[in-house]
Amino acid sequence: MVGKFEGFEIPKPIPALTEDTKPYWEGCARHELLIQHCQDCGHFRFPPSGLCPKCMSTNTEWVAVSGKGQVYSWTIFHYVYHPAYAKDIPYNVAIVQLNEGPLLHTNIVECNNEDIYIGMPVEVIFEDVNDEISLPKFRPLSK
């Protein structure tokens, strides 16, 4: 990264908690993946929001999901766009589809970048950022 950032520690962006997203991030902090499940039409939705985009119902329950899924697509960043990611280059970003349906933006961990492929079975693990925030990451599904 360019010199002007030297001497500064610029943190990675972390999610801001809102009333609608708080149960999700609180679940992550407990290392539990909670997804909203519409009690009227049964749609699993992500990211968290105040109403079901399929049926407009506000009748929602939080459900602990399996945390298992597969890689839907992925990329490897070779260029630094955010100084906090400079030391990670080259790093992967993946879109993982949970078995329950929703897609999550995440990183694949405990795996070489070269070994990632579409359809790769993965499972969630949590990376603690601070007391409030843990980010869901995915690793190859242990046999």
73 binds other proteins (CB under 8 A): yes
104 binds other proteins (CB under 8 A): yes
Contact with other proteins (CB under 8 A) among 88, 110, 115, 128? 88
Nearest approach, Cβ of residue 39 and other proteins (Å): 20
Number of other residues whose CB lies within 10 A of the CB of residue 65: 21
In 3D space, the residue among 139, 135, 110, 140 whose CA is nearest the CA of residue 28 turns out to be 135
Instruction: Scan for tokens 């906090």, then name that residue.
Output: 84
126 binds other proteins (CB under 8 A): no
- Going through 27-102 in order, the beta strands assigned E by DSSP cover 34-38, 44-45, 60-64, 68-77, 91-98
21 binds other proteins (CB under 8 A): yes
Using the rule CB under 8 A, give the single segment among 33-41, 59-67, 78-86 that binds other proteins.
Answer: 78-86
Distance CA 113, CA 22 (A): 32
Looking at the chain, how many residues does it have? 143
What does the binding site for other proteins look like in residue numbers (CB under 8 A)? 2, 12-16, 21, 46-47, 53, 72-83, 85, 88, 90-91, 93-95, 102-107, 117-118, 135
